[in-house]
Amino acid sequence: MIPPSDIPAITALHDEYGLTAKEALVVLLLYQGGIILRERIRDVYCDYPTTAPVEARSAIKRIRKKVRPHITICTHYGIGYEMTPEARKTVQKIIRRHHDPAPNHHSGAQDASGAESL
């Protein structure tokens, strides 16, 4: 089940890169920083806990194909994966842009006198 607090970020990653909800959850996991173990990625991405950790590699391969060259995910062979600091900044910008759309410079709002405020 997807935590409700993650839905806006998942939507932003879907809109930007066409990621599925599970792919976006993996990206958000990597976005937290540090090396994420293959088993943890498998647990987030796969429906069955008995799935081999090697499935994390397949998930990362699909994600990389969609987000390249904007988001870089490094491999720590035999251990797991890590998002570069630059990629984390990119993800942060995407999430912020989706949460805070560009301000409308002329909203057409009126003040108490009926005049339009700028």
Q: At residue 118, does pLDDT exceed 60? A: no
Number of H helices, E strands in the chain: 5, 3
Q: At residue 117, does pLDDT exceed 50? A: no
Higher pLDDT: 48 or 30? It is 30
Band (pLDDT 50/70/90 cuts) for residue 31 is very high
Helices of type H across 32-78: 38-45, 55-67
51-75: pLDDT as tens digits: 777 888 999 999 999 999 999 999 9
Q: At residue 109, does pLDDT exceed 90? A: no
Instruction: Give the model's pLDDT for residue 40.
Output: 92
Instruction: Tell me how far CA of residue 69 lies from CA of 77, 86, 94, in angstroms.
Output: 21, 11, 14
Give the pairing of strands 80-83 and 36-37. antiparallel
The pTM (predicted TM-score) of the whole model is 0.79
